[in-house]
Structure 1
Amino acid sequence: MSQLYDISLRITYEYAHPAGASRTLLRILPRALQGQQLLSGAVTADPAPSWRREGKDFFGNPTCEMAHDMPLSEIAFAFSGRVRKARPVAGLDLSGGLGALAQELAGVRSIGPESPHHFLGASPRLPAAPEIAAFARDTLSSALSVRAAIEAISHRLHSEFAFDPEATEVTTAAIEAFRARRGVCQDISHVMITALRSLGIPAGYVSGFLRTLPPEGQPRLEGADAMHAWVRAWCGVELGWVEIDPTNDMFAGADHVTVAYGRDYSDVAPTRGSLRSEGSHVTTHFVDMVPV
């Protein structure tokens, strides 16, 4: 079975004083994946750019580079499109014991985008954190499989973290959010990735969209008002990658539409770039994901 979604995203910047020429790299177009198909849609900007180029980054994420060679008091970047998402089939836990994962990793010779080796060590936003590592060790028993260990970490983080959009900013370090036990999906995912890597489990960051309105009778999911984040973890050669949403303590399903994969948020930020400006600016972020 599959579900169709109409998705709209709009990110707007308003500047107190007109900004000069800007260059922006966007990662807001959903990926084409097994079980996920972009049926229609486009990335746009208002005002229209002076120049643009489509491409892909190292991890295979669609990118769009834009340049605006004009004064800007306000600029908006948007995606609007339709996505077909298959409902994942719950499979058996084919992962081995946690102690055997290092040997399986040693047997992986690839260093391509899907290689687990890219997701095991520290990354730009996620240095090693002894406190989070101790938390991860304290959560597990030695008898757990890799997938069961991933579920256990997610469950404990979900039970101990308060979802609080006011507690953190996009630049907040994972260790700060961990100590406060408060934050949003980005913070909880960063903490979980750090915890899994400390156990020798390759883990990465997933950005995407989450269904805004839940099915009748089910609770609304946290993090659905903006682009969402969850975690991708490698369970060994047999099972491969699984995706889990620690903010909602669930494996990613038909309500999760993937936009980008990376080591942490720095690899998948929806917008990044440079411009000439002075004074303050205001950013607004709107997402709507509606089942058809």
Structure 2
Amino acid sequence: MIYSIRLTIAHYYDQPAANSRHLVRVMPRTLANRQNLTTHLLEVFPEPESRSEAVDFFGNKTTFCAHRDQHTEMTIHMSCNVDIHPPQKWRDVSLGVADLGRVCETLRDLGSESPLHFLGPTPRLPPNGAIRDFANDLFHPSDSTVANVIRIGKALHDAMTFDATATTVDTDAADAFHLRRGVCQDFSHIMIIALQSLGIPAGYVSGYLRTLPPPGGVKLEGADAMHAWVRAWGGPDQGWIEYDPTNATLVGTDHIVAGYGRDYSDVSPVRGYLRSSGGQQNTQAVDVAIVG
């Protein structure tokens, strides 16, 4: 199955901006036995005075661009095709949470896939008593890690309402949980804190969600912008699984990974600084369609 992805991110400044430096993370990854990035193009307007490509610590594709001259808007266009492999069959071979904790205590690997990076907290995801209590109420110590992950993700979906007007990109997970409203970023941050409070390594995934539903299906929430979901580690035999709490589903072929990180800050689509005065407006548009 081949997906065509088109993304446009636009920044409009009330006053001309200059001396800007931005790091862009929007390109899908190539992941063995799962997805393969084929044709791809990333354009930035106005044309940057300098630009470079790199891969960050977690293996995400990054583009650095700099504008010295004044400009009143900056637009990023990304287009690509991604070949999605059929989902691999898997079964729950994850450890119990207590055994998982004992295994984590023996780990010494600090590579990008090490669960040790995903035990928390981070500046954006401090421990929270209300979220911890929510997780504890749902935790079954006799069940596997994967079973607990799915139960907590489903319960969070049931407890929250998707509301694009309730939060902003800077809203704390604790505040979104108190409101019981938010977007995919909020759902994912809350679930990560919940899982980490139990000792389950969990991280943030950014990516894309198929815009058009299958025949007779229902369009999923969050399909008109970059999407976010959660990955959790179930032990050395299970490895990482991914769960989308916004839509209460294990991740399948509708989800295309762009970046892995500890929280949104590690994989934000655009991050940087500039010199300007006044405010700015940002827009984002995404289209994901099957082309083959």
CA displacement, residues 132-166 of structure 1 (integer Å, 9 cap, x when unaligned) = 11110101222211000000001101111100000
CA displacement, residues 172-224 of structure 1 (integer Å, 9 cap, x when unaligned) = 00000011110000000000000000000000000000000110111110101
Q: Percent identity?
A: 49
Q: Helix, strand or coil: the match of 1:15?
A: strand
Alignment of 1:4-23 (within 5 A): 4-23=2-21
Q: Verify the 8 A CA contact 1:21 1:70 in the aligned structure 2.
A: yes
1:253 equivalent in structure 2: 252
1:183 equivalent in structure 2: 182
1:15: how far off?
1.1
Q: Which amino acid aligns with 1:12?
A: A
1:108: how far off?
2.2
2:208 equivalent in structure 1: 209
Q: Which amino acid aligns with 2:27?
A: L
Determine whether 1:104 maps to 2:103. yes
1:107: how far off?
2.8
1:45 equivalent in structure 2: 44
Q: Which amino acid aligns with 2:104?
A: L
CA displacement, residues 216-243 of structure 1 (integer Å, 9 cap, x when unaligned) = 1111101011000000100001101001
Q: Which amino acid aligns with 1:166?
A: T
Find 2:26's aligned residue among 20, 25, 28.
28
- Aligned counterparts of 1:61 and 1:4: Cα–Cα separation in 2: 21
- Aligned counterparts of 2:111 and 2:283: Cα–Cα separation in 1: 36
1:264 equivalent in structure 2: 263
2:283 equivalent in structure 1: 284
- Aligned counterparts of 1:87 and 1:248: Cα–Cα separation in 2: 21
Q: Verify the 8 A CA contact 1:124 1:266 in the aligned structure 2.
A: no
- Aligned counterparts of 1:36 and 1:125: Cα–Cα separation in 2: 29
1:106: how far off?
2.2
Alignment of 1:98-247 (within 5 A): 98-247=97-246
Q: With structure 1 as the length reference, what TM-score do the two structures score?
A: 0.98
Q: Which amino acid aligns with 1:115?
A: S
1:105: how far off?
1.2
- Aligned counterparts of 2:113 and 2:140: Cα–Cα separation in 1: 29
- Aligned counterparts of 1:162 and 1:172: Cα–Cα separation in 2: 15
Q: With structure 2 as the length reference, what TM-score do the two structures score?
A: 0.98
- Aligned counterparts of 1:160 and 1:113: Cα–Cα separation in 2: 32
Q: Verify the 8 A CA contact 1:21 1:275 in the aligned structure 2.
A: yes
Aligned residues: 290
1:124: how far off?
2.0
Q: Verify the 8 A CA contact 1:124 1:264 in the aligned structure 2.
A: no
Q: Which amino acid aligns with 1:81?
A: C
Segments of structure 1 that go 5 or more residues without pairing to the other structure are: none
Q: Helix, strand or coil: the match of 1:20?
A: strand
Q: Which amino acid aligns with 2:5?
A: I
1:44: how far off?
1.1
Deviating more after overlay: 73-82 vs 192-201: 73-82
Q: Helix, strand or coil: the match of 2:132?
A: helix
